[in-house]
Amino acid sequence: MCGIVGLYLKKKKLHSQLGSYLSAMLDNMSSRGPDSAGFAIYNNKEKKRYKYSLCLSKKVNLNNFEEDIKKNFKNLDIKTISDHTILYTSAKPQKFIPFIKKNYENILLIGYGKSIEIFKQVGSPKDIVKKFNLDQFSGSHGIGHTRMATESAITIDGSHPYSTGEDECLVHNGSLSNHNNLRRELIKKGQEFHSLNDTEVAAGYISNKLSKNKSMKNTLTDCLSNLDGFYTFIVGTNNGFAILRDEIACKPAVIAENANYVAVASEFQAMAHLPNVNKAKIYEPEPGVVYTWGK
Amino acid sequence: MGKIENLDFKKNSLRKINSFLQNISYKNNKREFTVKNPRGEHAICAGLKENILVKINGHVGYYCGGMNQKANIVIDGNAGTGLGENMMSGTIHVKGNTSQSTGATAHGGTIIVDGNASSRCGISMKGVDIIVKGSVGHMSGFMAQAGTLLVCGNAGEALGDSIYETVIYIAGNPKSLGVDCIEKKITKNDIKKIENLLKQGNINKLKAINFKKFGSARKLYNFNIDNASDY
């Protein structure tokens, strides 16, 4: 099953509300995915530094880690919420990512970019939303996922959103059947994977295409011929997000749009709390059609 | 519960509201009810059994009015998947759009959709009449067995795939026809049926002669040895 949600705020004055709107959306989708949950928040406040979203296992001593990282990187800020740490640093990914991989095998890098912050955890979406204080977050847009596990184990590795490129992430309702072949092909092209999950492969596929300067529209159109299975995707980027449903369109999605926001969710009830939603333009995305919003 | 003014999802649970509407005594003089703040909840007004009128002010979730018998349900909003699934009689009128599988397996009564219905509208329908004033999505009328599907707009791909004896009237065009679905000649009897449905749907802009008729070629009814390689 799984539940997916996305919210893009068109007006800057609403940005402080992003977290509270999104947390109620995720909470409501618990019924579609009680196993794990995660969300990505896009916030453009940092102009120059990168943000690295890390998940620390219990084996890591946070104080030692902080000291160690401060020795190696300057102009550094650290924000820790529960077992997740966001590192703000001017260090470029080419330098920072190999450093983390080399020195900390118990730290999972779950995303990076100038705008994105990712949080995901195993357990009930209601608890996870609380644990990470999602309602306190501000930003321009965010996407989230509640998981009913089918394709791989209930672990953080198996939780969405999947980020496989700078400021990119994907949430998925559905399942893919050709992900093993596609994973092998993408590994040959240099894409890295950390789980056996089908969605991570789709995310890698999308990142690979985008890195070749393909537009979001063309990339997602290519998905229709190369990804075999059922899916409703929400793809987040620095600029906004995009939606694609496969052509059979068994996996639901509904969009509500007005002058203030674009909301997307698996079911209308996830957005029923949004202001003036009953007067918004409400429609289902057509099968096989790419929808994008953003700057 | 018991107080009629409490058919409000801000004040009461789905189970309480449904249970109240399901247990209206035929002796009760009050026959009209309004449900407030439905907030996309699923299975609202499922299993109603009496000839009552229920107005729902807002958008509803999945399987609204499922298994309905006799009741008239008016939804001032959109409806999710499986509106009126397995309905036996009565009417459901949606003023907005409906999601997939509208009227799935419904045996009787009438469903009227003022907007569009998405994919698989009337899937496996067994006698219901479905009137869609907008368009329907792909695979509509899939394995539809009896009843009538009238569409004022267009239809998506594979209309009437593997259809049995449901009759489809459509004013626009299907993007493509499904397996064993063919266009048929409109008869005087069809004109009467269409006129009746247009009247029920309060549709004045179209006339019966604007519609084309589709139904089963009945070639899938018996196994054909020439098709063996297709399986």
Domain limits, chain B: 4-218
A268/B62 CB distance under 8 A: no
Q: Closest chain B residue to A268 measured between Cα atoms?
A: B40
A278/B97 CB distance under 8 A: no
Which of B78, B81, B138 is facing A252, going by the closest CB pair? B81
Measured CA to CA, the distance from residue A216 to residue A209 in angstroms comes to 9
The model carries a pTM of 0.94
What is the pLDDT averaged over residues A251-278?
Answer: 97
pLDDT digits (tens, 9 = 90+) for A138-168: 999 999 999 999 878 899 999 999 999 999 9
Angle (CA) A235 A239 A244, round 5°: 25
Measured CA to CA, the distance from residue A97 to residue A112 in angstroms comes to 9
Is residue B138 less than 8 Å (CB to CB) from chain A?
yes
pLDDT digits (tens, 9 = 90+) for A74-87: 889 999 999 999 99
pLDDT digits (tens, 9 = 90+) for B69-126: 999 999 999 999 999 999 999 999 999 999 999 999 999 999 999 999 999 999 999 9
Beta strands in A99-177 (DSSP E): 107-113, 116-122, 141-147, 162-165, 168-176
> To 10 degrees, the CA torsion angle through A98, A108, A176, B124?
-150
- The pLDDT value given to residue A8: 98
Optimal mutation site among A29, A269, A279, A283, interface B, most CBs of chain B within 10 A: A269
- Give the fold, CATH level 3, of A46-114: Alpha-Beta Plaits (3.30.70)
CATH code: domain A3-44+125-294 is 3.60.20.10
Q: Is the pLDDT of residue B2 over 60?
A: no
Taking each helix axis from N to C end, the angle separating A198-211 and A216-226, rounded to the nearest 10 degrees, works out to 140
- In terms of phi and psi (left: phi > 0; alpha: psi -120 to 50; beta: otherwise), the region of A54 is beta
Confidence of residue A249 (pLDDT cuts 50, 70, 90): very high
A267/B62 CB distance under 8 A: yes
A267/B137 CB distance under 8 A: no
Report, as residue numbers or ranges, the catalytic residues of A: 2
Q: Closest chain B residue to A247 measured between Cα atoms?
A: B138
What are the sequence ranges of the domains in chain A? 3-44+125-294, 46-114
Measured CA to CA, the distance from residue B10 to residue B6 in angstroms comes to 9
Is residue B105 less than 8 Å (CB to CB) from chain A?
no
- As to burial, measured by CB atoms within 10 angstroms (0-12 exposed, 13-18 middle, 19+ buried), residue B121 is buried
CB A207 within 8 A of CB A191: yes
- Give the fold, CATH level 3, of B4-218: Pectate Lyase C-like (2.160.20)
List of chain B residues whose C-beta atoms are within 8 Å of the C-beta of residue A271? 40
Residue A233 dihedral angles phi and psi, to the nearest 5° = -105, 145
pLDDT digits (tens, 9 = 90+) for A93-141: 999 999 999 999 899 999 999 999 999 999 999 999 999 999 999 999 9
Is residue B78 less than 8 Å (CB to CB) from chain A?
yes
Optimal mutation site among B99, B140, B176, interface A, most CBs of chain A within 10 A: B99
* C-alpha distances in Å from residue A128, one per residue of A86, A134, A164, A225, B58: 17, 9, 22, 35, 30
